[in-house]
Structure 1
Amino acid sequence: SHYDMFVGGVVGAGESYDEAALREAEEELGVSGLPAPEPLFRFLYTGDEHTWWSAVYQVRCELPVAPQAEEVAWHTFLDEKELEQRLGEWPWVPDGVEAYRRLQEFRSA
């Protein structure tokens, strides 16, 4: 089992990236009525066995969350400093680490 710092999932048939981002955020966080997530960037992720397009969005959730138990075994919110510390200590999903690296580059551009 690995940690993931993002909510996310697969774009459904006939669904846009924007629609999928909102649906996944609401499903995984167990909330409804979020504002439309803001698209930041897309990138081609190449893993050991598969390659896929990833889209990174941001949305501020001011609501109390109740993560979807079927998909989220444990959750907490880490500030940037805590996340940087945990990156070297916990096993993370590789595509999430790559998305985070690219997010840092995006923010510093």
Structure 2
Amino acid sequence: MSSADEILDIVDENDRVIGQSPRGEAYDRGLRHRCAFVLARDPAGRIFVHRRTATKLVFPSMYDMFVGGVVGAGESYDDAALREAEEELGVTGLARPSFLFKFLYDDGAGRTWWSAVYEVRCDLPVRPQLEEVAWHDYLTEDEVERRLGDWEWVPDGLAAYERLKARRRARRQDR
């Protein structure tokens, strides 16, 4: 089965399941579905950053600071986060990612999905999936920040990253 044939739950503006659709059709018709984003850090706290392959259905050849992907029909966000992180990092036995927050991504041009954001520490040597990852490295947060204006980033990952930074700033101000 190709990734375009994978069945997804289609959800409404409140993240309630209203139907199912093959992934390719969901993308073509702009049907709202679910995704999991996982910020993977190495033991030094650096962020796993990668460039997607040119064959990806969405945002080919762009950079991302999250691993993850669509949540399959009937799958929980938590299960999808772990599955996708292990698949994209090429590891097994990864700790369950910690849920941080959820938001509705909508680019205003027909791309919309509920996005659950997680974080995980990866102490294992990574072997990224060649079908998914064209290049990868661990970068410090300062290195990521310096590259935000230079590299072409996936817009949904960038939106998640900006929300994550804003949440951290708000928590520091509340202390």
TM-score under structure 2 length normalisation: 0.61
Map of 2:70 onto structure 1: 10
Partner in structure 1 of residue 48 of structure 2? none
Q: Shift in Å at residue 108 of structure 1? A: 1.9
Alignment map for 1:36-55 (pairs within 5 Å): 36-47=96-107, 48-55=109-116
- TM-superposed deviation, 1:14: 1.5
Match of 1:60 in 2: 121
Note the aligned Cα RMSD (angstroms).
0.8
Write out aligned runs for 1:13-92 (5 A).
Answer: 13-47=73-107, 48-92=109-153
Structure 1 runs of 4+ with >4 Å offset? none
Shift of 1:106: 1.6
Q: How many residues align?
A: 109
Q: Whose strand fraction is larger, Structure 1's or Structure 2's?
A: 2
Distance 1:10 1:45 in 2: 13
- Structure 2 distance, partners of 1:50, 1:63, is 34
Q: What letter matches 1:97 in structure 2?
A: L
Identity of aligned residues (%): 71
**Normalized against structure 1, the TM-score is what?**
0.97
Rg comparison, structure with higher value: 2
User: What CA distance in whole angstroms lies between the structure 2 residues aligned with 1:108 and 1:60?
Assistant: 21
Q: Hey, which of these two has a bigger chunk of helix by percent? A: 1
Separation in structure 1 between the aligned mates of residue 158 and residue 112 of structure 2, nearest angstrom: 15
Letter matched to residue 73 of structure 2? A
* Higher relative contact order, chain-length normalized (CA < 8 Å, sep 6+): 1
